[in-house]
Chain A
Amino acid sequence: MTILDRFKAMDYGPAPESRGEADQWLAARDLAKTLFIDGEWRAAKSGARFTTVEPATGAALAEISEASSGDVDDAVKAARKALSAWRKKSGYERARVLYAIGRGMQRHARLFAVLESLDNGKPIRESRDIDVPLAIRHFIHHAGWAQTLDRDFPGFEPAGVVGQIIPWNFPLLMLAWKIAPALATGCTVVLKPAEFTPLTAVLFAEICARAGVPKGVVNIVQGGPEAGEAIVNHPDIDKIAFTGSSEVGKIIRRATAGTGKKISLELGGKSAFIVFEDADLDSAVEGLVDGIWFNQGQVCCAGSRLLVQESVAERFIGKVKARMSHLRLGDPLDKNTDIGPLIAPSQLARVTGLVAEGARQGAECWQPASDLPQGGYYHLPTLATGVAPSNILAQEEVFGPVLAAMSFRTADEAVALANNTRYGLAASIWSETINRALETAPKLKAGVVWINGTNMFDAACGFGGYRESGFGREGGREGLIEYLARAKTKGEYRRIEIPAAKAGESEDGLIDRTPKLFIGGKQVRPDGNYALPVTTPKGRLLGEVGAGNRKDIRNAVAAARASKWGSATGYNRMQVLYFMAENLAARADEFAARLAALTGESAKKARAEVEAGIECLFAAGGLADKYEGRVHQPPMRAVTLALHEPAGVVGIVAPDEAPLLALLSMLGPALAMGNSVVLVPSERYPLIATDLYQVIETSDLPAGSVNIVTGGSAELAEVLAKHDDLDGLWCVGDRALCTTVERESAGNLKRVWTNAGHAVDWSDAARLADDFLRRAVEVKNVWVPYGD
């Protein structure tokens, strides 16, 4: 073609990024030794290797050592050995190391980008302009956290040895999200990159070695499911951080149940992309390009469900189709490529299969008449319209360039459709009306909400989901806490045995009382209509409480779900809790006497517990309008509102120890933050809770905000754990109970906290308040770019 021909045609032509440096880098390494353990490059003990390929061509890139459980064991030993010296280093020393890593990555930014695009298939524009700069930003940002840790997180220590498992869609970026906060907090790391994308982690480990990371602080074990499983199940790992599918997330939740391991899970999503009629429609179309056609749609927070207001739907869909026709599929190393190949044939088959099934279920699947490159695992961008909420494309995470479109009539309907999913990772709202956008954002069950934007990330802003999109946040202050822990308390939790009731001995001179369950603001008889005796330590009968069962729990959760408590203002909740403390104080003598009778402890001690409980309620009430979110300031013209939202409906299984104080220590913060509660009181001392419902009834708490179900803790806790409409569950009990609760909570990945069978010090009010307030909220990051 002559210049003149090109002058007439005005095509872009190829603009390939050179792969020469990356190929040289690959050639110069012994990739058979790519396990980075204790500062050394090792081959797998078994000698096993796996092949990593270029998704654009299917050609092999390298043979990588494949770790097995023995290698993981070595890595964990190295990390354990390195832990004490690393955590003892000053914040300044750790900050310097993080800074050096960030700068080292910056110096090799292009090599990282090219390797990433080769290995993953993502367009070079994305790896160069998004993945790599964000990864660098993460390290430099966290250098500052390392130094300020003592000031900002007093009373915490590093979580310890951390096992981290990351996915293939953002290999380097996910590595950065995992390793930077771990190093900042003084943890040591065993990280497993995804089998599809091992390469940039190798380059990263080389930079760690040069940046002065002590041996054993960062260990990278390449491998597949065996290595992953070895990490999850390793007894000497203190915390698991995982990013990947919800399915595997649930497996990890079950596997770690009862082990005392901290876990944070960053899982799948089916994020809504809501376009109101007053949106800048052309910009919203571009938002979709950044939303669902970013990284071929292989993004956990991809805006894969388009919800567009009926009045503009037809016009908007037309614009989307026109825009899709301009998307260029091609070589990931070509700077003009918008969409590269999917990661692997299996992924291509999955996406193709889901699209076919979606079409079979009635969706109209449209693709632009673009050329499909030959040789790699390419899939055309796809728009599915006429998608019913039940369609597989509206329900399942596709993890491909497939957009499912639906229309809505009103903002309420948009919210209902957006929340009609098991996931809750992210959402976008497009509207030029600030009132509408800021009203909608808090109603969405999603950890991240972008207003007039999408897929914005920053190290200072927490990222993570509600519901089955996982728990914990990455980035920002809220992400750092995932790598910190309280010093473990000594001793085991002890159940208090229930003595056999002796016949014929009851209190004299009083009219018989029937303590009932308290559900939906009413005293109700238990569904099963059985009763359980409650006695003094010596077996003297003090009363008989209802034996709650699964149906009572069901009713209690339904009542809690219907409660209006969550929409009360902080000031309102504060006054109600103060009032509750006031009413409890008025009956302090009675409660103290009851405690003393139940537990057999001295009147003085019982009185002290009641006083401490009242103080605890008072403190929680006082914080109801103060335990607020933050405003993050990412490096762009935007503010990110890190809102504290109630977790939702929270189950509380209270212990036998300090039966009133422990109960109030949990109930107070839960209520203060606007949660409604299903409370299972101490099995041994339930009367202390049934006495409480009269206090609740006189304290202006709306119906359903606190529900009390007495009965067998283990039985009721398990029902709560298995209830998929429960958002959180705090359970104090013995190890067996904690294990069951954690394991069974995997069904909907509710936020579970247990004492893991350890004793709990209920006297440390300030610490407890801090911890339970944190557990009582979800942090939702609402991104608000601005400018007119």
Chain B
Amino acid sequence: MSGKTEQTMIGGASVHPLPRSADNTAKPPAPHAGGLSRNPGMPLDLGWLEAMRHINRSALERRVDTLGKRRSIKKEHQAAWLLRALAVMDLTTLSSDDTPDRVLRLCAKARNPLRPDLMAGLGIEDEEITPAAVCVYHPFVSIAAEALAGTGIHVAAVSTAFPHGLAPLPTRIAEIRASVEDGADEIDVVIPRGLVLGAHWEELYDEIAQFRAACGQAHLKVILGTGDLATLRNVTLASMVAMMAGADFIKTSTGKESVNATLPVGLAMVRCIRAYHEHTGIHIGFKPAGGISTAKASLDWLVLMNEELGRRWLEPDLFRFGASSLLTDIERQLEHHLTGRYSAAHRHAMA
């Protein structure tokens, strides 16, 4: 199939668009793969924050409820959209029993996400359509970085005392530095939710700005833990503070909260991204994570992005799914598209 062989993986130099090591913030921001300039952040604007308070949950729920019914994607188009879902996936393992071998399996799956016959059937055997990143805990960053070297697949590390974010700030910042040092070029940080619930916006802003500084050239995804934030208003305010403080992506959940990524939460967040773009011209990425396990659900999210933000936000530099079991369902649906037969999970290689 594609040119991603063991050889290039082991011996090749990094072709990541982003530098692999952490640095200080003195360097100018590196461009995204898509040629967009990074979010430089901006001073905390409490006035703007206040103006963003007006969020109507019922209306947002109605919007997302009809969104999936207003747009339907069938046949070849569906296959293409499912490939898109695959291409913006952060293939993730975040279990307390993760081991190096488990992470290596995941990396192998990332390199070869689809069965060769499916690739051929879809006419993409010469394409490198892979998940955008593999997302792991810090101890596995160097293993993943090595396993994925030369593939263009990013290594993302969850950080800052994931999933709760309640370690001392210096510890959390040191954790970011360590992961960047080990080869992570994307850092998914969590925020202490209490800062949102207590409306400590300055403190939240300062912490995230320090996370950003610690990331250096690595991209910063800020996980809000939306399931803990109680209201869409809190989600909105936290999103705005994260972007002002320099987040490259805002992300819904750790996957560990009792409520994962939901479409209303996603809608609130992408509207913040739109507002930030309208205001600053800067493109911020969005990553829903947790609970997105079916191909159908992935289409709903893609439609949400396309309708609310537009085509540009369907590229991996601006959109990611955090997912683990989603890939298998996408494989099954793609096989169904090609054969007309319903497939089974065990017919596709596991991660």
User: Which A residues lie at the B interface, using CB under 8 A?
Assistant: 1-4, 6-7, 9-15, 125, 129, 278-284, 286-287, 290, 326, 335-336, 338, 432, 452-453, 637-638, 785-788
> Of B74, B79, B231, B314, which one neighbours A3 at CB under 8 angstroms?
B79
Q: Is B71 within 8 A of A336, CB to CB? A: yes
Q: Are B69 and A453 in contact (CB-based, < 8 A)?
A: no
Q: With A and B bound together, what is the CA distance between A335 and B69 in angstroms?
A: 8
Residues of B within 8 A of A279 (CB): 54, 56
| In contact, B72 and A336 (Cβ under 8 angstroms) | yes
Asked if A13 contacts B70 (CB within 8 A), the reply is no
Q: Once bound together, how far apart are the Cα atoms of A13 and B274, in whole Å? A: 25
Q: Evaluate whether A3 and B124 lie within 8 angstroms (CB atoms) in the complex, with A283-B56, A283-B63 already known.
A: yes
Find out whether the CB atom of B54 lies under 8 angstroms from the CB atom of A13: no
CA distance in complex: A372, B140 (Å): 54
With A4-B124, A11-B77, A338-B70 as contacts: A452 and B83 at CB distance below 8 Å: no
The 9 tightest CB contacts between A and B, nearest first, are A283-B59, A6-B80, A13-B77, A15-B72, A785-B58, A335-B72, A280-B56, A787-B57, A432-B54
Pick the contact of B306: A10, A281, A286, A785 (CB < 8 A). Answer: A10
Q: Does residue B346 face the partner (Cβ distance < 8 Å to A)?
A: no
Residue of A nearest to B314 (CB): A10
Q: Please, which residue of chain A has its CB at the minimum distance from the CB of B58? A: A785
Residue of B77, B83, B274 ringed by the most chain A CB atoms within 10 A:
B77
A432: B residues at CB distance < 8 A: 53-56
CB distance from B299 to the nearest CB of A (A): 10
What are 13 inter-chain pairs, A to B, with CB distance below 8 A? A3-B80, A3-B124, A4-B123, A4-B127, A10-B302, A12-B71, A12-B73, A279-B54, A280-B54, A286-B62, A326-B307, A336-B72, A787-B61
Q: What separation, in Å, do the CA atoms of A7 and B74 have in the docked complex?
A: 13
**Beyond A7-B87, A326-B307, A788-B232, 6 extra complex contacts between A and B, CB < 8 Å:** A6-B80, A280-B56, A286-B62, A453-B58, A453-B62, A787-B57
State whether the Cβ of B341 lies closer than 8 Å to any Cβ in chain A: no
- Chain B residues with CB under 8 Å of A290's CB are 62
> How many angstroms from the CA of A284 to the CA of B57 in the assembled complex?
12
Q: Mark B9-43, 1 if CB is under 8 A from A, else 0.
A: 00000000000000000000000000000000000
A8 to chain B, nearest CB (A): 8
With A12-B71, A283-B60 given, is the CB distance from A6 to B76 under 8 Å? yes
Chain B: residues with CB nearer than 8 A to chain A? Answer: 53-63, 66, 69-77, 79-81, 83-84, 87, 122-124, 127, 129, 231-233, 271, 274, 302, 306-307, 311, 314
Bound complex: CA of A9 vs CA of B314, how far in Å? 10
CB-nearest residue of chain A relative to B56? Answer: A280
Cross-chain contact of B73 among A9, A13, A785 (Cβ < 8 A) = A13
Closest to B264 in A: A787
Q: A779 vs B335: C-alpha distance in the bound complex, in angstroms?
A: 57
Q: Is the CB of B59 within 8 A of A287?
A: yes
> CB-CB < 8 A to A11: which residues of B?
77
User: In whole angstroms, what is the CA distance A4 to B122 when docked?
Assistant: 8
B53 cross-chain contacts in A, Cβ below 8 A: 432
Q: Which one of B63, B80, B233 contacts A10 once the chains associate, using CB atoms below 8 Å?
A: B80
Min CB–CB distance B1 → chain A (angstroms) = 15
A11 vs B74: C-alpha distance when bound (angstroms): 11
Chain A residues with CB under 8 Å of B79's CB are 3, 6
Q: Return chain A residues, CB-CB under 8 Å to B87.
A: 7
B274 contacts which chain A residues (CB < 8 A)? 282
CA distance A618 to B55 in the complex (A): 49
CB contacts (< 8 Å) of A14 on chain B: these are: 74
Asked if B63 contacts A286 (CB within 8 A), the reply is yes
- 8 Å CB contact of B271 from A282, A336, A338: A282
Q: Give the Cβ gap from B246 to chain A, nearest Cβ, in Å.
A: 24
Closest Cβ of chain B to A113, distance in Å, is 12
Cα separation A721 to B233 with both chains bound (whole Å): 53
Q: Are B58 and A3 in contact (CB under 8 A)?
A: no
Identify which of A10, A129, A287, A787 contacts B69 (C-beta below 8 A): A129
Is there an interface contact between B76 and A1, defined as CB atoms closer than 8 Å? Answer: yes
Quick check: A7 and B83 within 8 Å, CB to CB?
A: yes
A279 and B53 CA atoms in complex are apart in Å by 9
- Give Cα A448 to B231, complex, Å: 29
Determine which of A3, A278, A786, A788 lies in contact with B123 in the assembled complex, contact meaning CB atoms within 8 Å: A3
- Which residues of chain A have C-beta atoms less than 8 A from B129's C-beta? 7
**In the assembled complex, how far is the CB of residue A454 from the closest CB belonging to chain B, in whole angstroms?**
10
User: What is the CB-to-nearest-CB distance from A329 to chain B, in angstroms, rounded to a whole number?
Assistant: 13
Q: Hey, which chain A residues are within 8 Å of B60, CB to CB?
A: 280, 283
In the bound complex, CA of A125 to CA of B62 (Å): 14
What A residues does B84 contact at CB under 8 A? 7, 10
Bound-state Cα–Cα, A788 to B234, Å: 10
Identify which of B72, B127, B271, B302 gathers the most chain A CB atoms within 10 Å of its CB.
Answer: B72
Which A residues are CB-close (under 8 A) to B71? Answer: 12, 335-336
Given known contacts A4-B124, A7-B83, A286-B63, A13 and B74 CB-to-CB distance under 8 angstroms:
yes
